[in-house]
A and B are shown apart, each in its own frame.
Chain A
Amino acid sequence: MTDPVKSPSVEEVLEDKGQYKYGFTTDIESDTLAKGLNEDVIRFISKKKNEPEFMLDFRLKAYRKWLTMEEPKWPNVHYPPIDFQDISYYSAPKPKKVLESIDEVDPELLRTFEKLGIPLDEQKKLANVAVDAVFDSVSVATTHKKKLMEVGIIFCPISEALVEYPELIEEYLGTVVPVGDNYYSALNSAVFTDGSFVYIPPDTISPMELSTYFRINTEETGQFERTLIICAENSYVSYLEGCTAPQFDTNQLHAAVVELVTMENAEIKYSTVQNWYSGDPETGKGGIYNFVTKRGKCLGDNSKISWTQVETGSAITWKYPSCILLGDNTQGEFYSVALTNGLMQADTGTKMIHIGKNTRSSIISKGISADRSSNSYRGQVKIGPNASNARNYTQCDSMLVGDKCSAHTFPYIETANSSVQLEHEASTSKISEDQLFYFESRGISRENAIQAVINGFCKEVFKQLPMEFAVEAQKLLALKLEDSVG
């Protein structure tokens, strides 16, 4: 493990700024910036991170853009207005403490990690997964860095990359999701504090899965992480992302931005298991607002980006991992399982933007709604005038559990080329009491029955996930639905 970036302490920054009127909460456990957002806060974050000048400019530009923008109102979700001045934009556990080994990471964090099936502890390193753990806004541990470095792969916190590889960041950051792309991505661009950076050099197949684990820990802290993955010519990487948060009565905002870039013949496979706290299932109190922008750009010809997501948490999910198929013969994939229960609301899907010739995309979306939740699929397939012979296949299945939930499908198809081939299939099904009784009458427990039905429904998506991840995702879904059926 290499040393994390040395950054100035809260006190140093405070002294430096002199007149800075927004106080800090510093205690033994964490270092949290007082609530509120303005240019000083952004300067503070940038300074704290020792960022190069271009980064501060990037942030300020995004912030000024954000001020002119409005929250999107089109998603099929409802929530009281967010007071963006009532959020703390920076929180770090134990300031500047250098973790010598993964053993120093909070054991509770490790346990949660284990539950997600992401091996983080030392003895599990053999599992061949490299992990970057982001706790609140700061990366606390990155494993396997050395081994990856030997083949030229950079895998580190983005704050570190900003200092060590500023030219790579400057070249690619904001090229897939421009600062003013949308309200939340603009906010993220202004205030993001950490996240992961991955660079796979040409002709390199990553020898292991790379993984980032995100955790929101402090109440009233927003989490704005930023991930940038660049996969150079003829290279391949599989990347996993896991998310959890503890239970608080207040809503917490999570507005992340993920950008992926593939060069010629490169492939990025990006998998997420999202299990943020979803709020009280009866009252809807608390829970994460998961407003995330994820987008990949297939820049080089014959490259491929594949998104797989298993979304099981968050009070509100607003998320559309998308692919810009710029190069010729590029390929985009989106595999999604989105489960809502309690009073959760999800509006999720994808965008496949076909620009190059012979571009192909496929979308497999599985929505499961239970209790009083609302689950919407929103997907856009856009074919540009030069995208001759482009093809898209979309399959959109909904499963309803109980009779108080809802499932919605909003497909948008736009084409400016007549040589394309588009297919769209959709279905709606239900887990019925009779199905469960059938299992039970054969001696199979209700829990195993639900798991079997859900696994069957989600099979096409689960098989895209790395093995351990798939097993955990299956258990997670069954666990969440146990109380909802019948």
Chain B
Amino acid sequence: MSLLEIKDLHAGFEGTEIVKGVSLTINAGEVHAVMGPNGSGKSTLSKVLAGHPSYEVTQGSIIYKGKDLLELDPEQRALAGIFMGFQYPVEIPGVNNAEFLRLAYNAQLVSKGEEELDPLDFDELLDEKMKLVGMDPKYKDRFLNDGFSGGEKKKNEILQMAVLNPSLAVLDETDSGLDIDALKVVSEGVNKWINKDNALILITHYQRLLNYIQPDFVHVFGQGKILKSGDKNLALELEKQGYDWVVTETAN
């Protein structure tokens, strides 16, 4: 059974259809890169997967671990092991970063019928994960994303992923806003997380990220559809020739 099976998905925002018939199958142990110009439907796909209430699915189906994903609300999706790394993580002043992570971690434990972790034990786990993604421990006691730089916000998303250890992670332009050193550290963190039982969807504009996280598949989005799929060489080709090349090729 595939981990995720998207069939003929049509979805949009405020009545405008943005994703216009996407089918995609993802198995455990796979890394999929989704590339494509702005407005091609990449981010809409990620929002739909996470269950953002402003996005509407008008046609098609998404089966996750054998269940109809569209029947689940965002909270249930997260508890079922889907993680969304946001392109623009929101700032939440007043809410402590470590407390937020512990809330999320414990919500998972509770949904599995396990005991919650107390703050001290969680703190140990958090320290370890922060090391993994190269984050300064001072961010534990900061308010969630509040006043973080773009790069810090992205690192914080990866930290959350490392703590929550999802089955399927969707990282929406996690590389944008990261300088080259941060990109390396974050990629290392992601690579350490990847194993045969989980899967990753990387949404990105740039081939650069794929030097650090090797995709098994690359999909090029355009006009709300997958125009072309291939292996990592497709990303290199894109880097050389630009998106227009795929668009022209597909049109022909």
- Residues of A with Cβ closer than 8 Å to B? 429, 432-435, 437-446, 448, 452-453, 455-457, 459, 486
- Residues of B with Cβ closer than 8 Å to A? 50-54, 73-75, 77-79, 83-84, 86, 89-90, 92-96, 99-100, 103-104, 107-108, 111, 143, 160, 164
Chain B residues with CB under 8 Å of A437's CB are 50, 52-53, 74
Q: How far is the CB of A460 from chain B (nearest CB, A)?
A: 10
B74 contacts A441, C-beta separation under 8 Å? yes
B89 contacts A438, C-beta separation under 8 Å? yes
**How far apart are the CA atoms of A445 and B51 in the complex, in Å?**
14
**How far apart are the CA atoms of A442 and B74 in the complex, in Å?**
8
Q: How far is the CB of A339 from chain B (nearest CB, A)?
A: 15
**How far apart are the CA atoms of A486 and B143 in the complex, in Å?**
23
B78 contacts A443, C-beta separation under 8 Å? yes
**How far apart are the CA atoms of A223 and B152 in the complex, in Å?**
55
Q: How far is the CB of A478 from chain B (nearest CB, A)?
A: 13
Residue in contact with A445 in the complex, picked from B50, B52, B75, B77, CB distance below 8 Å: B75
A434 contacts B90, C-beta separation under 8 Å? yes
**How far apart are the CA atoms of A441 and B78 in the complex, in Å?**
5
Chain A residues with CB under 8 Å of B74's CB are 437, 440-441
Q: How far is the CB of B90 from chain A (nearest CB, A)?
A: 5
Residue in contact with A443 in the complex, picked from B53, B90, B92, B164, CB distance below 8 Å: B164
Can you sample 13 A-B contacts with CB below 8 Å?
Answer: A429-B93, A435-B92, A437-B74, A438-B92, A439-B104, A440-B73, A440-B74, A440-B75, A442-B103, A443-B75, A448-B103, A452-B100, A455-B95
Q: How far is the CB of A165 from chain B (nearest CB, A)?
A: 46
Chain A residues with CB under 8 Å of B50's CB are 437, 441
Residue in contact with B107 in the complex, picked from A438, A443, A457, A459, CB distance below 8 Å: A443
**How far apart are the CA atoms of A467 and B77 in the complex, in Å?**
35
**How far apart are the CA atoms of A446 and B99 in the complex, in Å?**
16
Q: How far is the CB of B220 from chain A (nearest CB, A)?
A: 26
**How far apart are the CA atoms of A456 and B100 in the complex, in Å?**
11
Please judge, given known A-B contacts A441-B78, A442-B104, whether A455 and B94 are in contact too, CB under 8 Å: yes
A453 contacts B95, C-beta separation under 8 Å? yes
A452 contacts B79, C-beta separation under 8 Å? no
Chain B residues with CB under 8 Å of A429's CB are 93
Residue in contact with B94 in the complex, picked from A432, A433, A442, A453, CB distance below 8 Å: A453
Residue in contact with A438 in the complex, picked from B90, B143, B164, CB distance below 8 Å: B90
**How far apart are the CA atoms of A459 and B111 in the complex, in Å?**
28
B90 contacts A456, C-beta separation under 8 Å? no
Residue in contact with B90 in the complex, picked from A435, A446, A455, A486, CB distance below 8 Å: A435
A443 contacts B95, C-beta separation under 8 Å? no
**How far apart are the CA atoms of A205 and B129 in the complex, in Å?**
47
**How far apart are the CA atoms of A453 and B99 in the complex, in Å?**
11
B73 contacts A443, C-beta separation under 8 Å? no
B93 contacts A441, C-beta separation under 8 Å? no
**How far apart are the CA atoms of A184 and B172 in the complex, in Å?**
59
**How far apart are the CA atoms of A23 and B50 in the complex, in Å?**
67
Q: Which residue of B lies closest to A427 (CB)?
A: B93
Q: Which residue of A lies closest to B100 (CB)?
A: A452
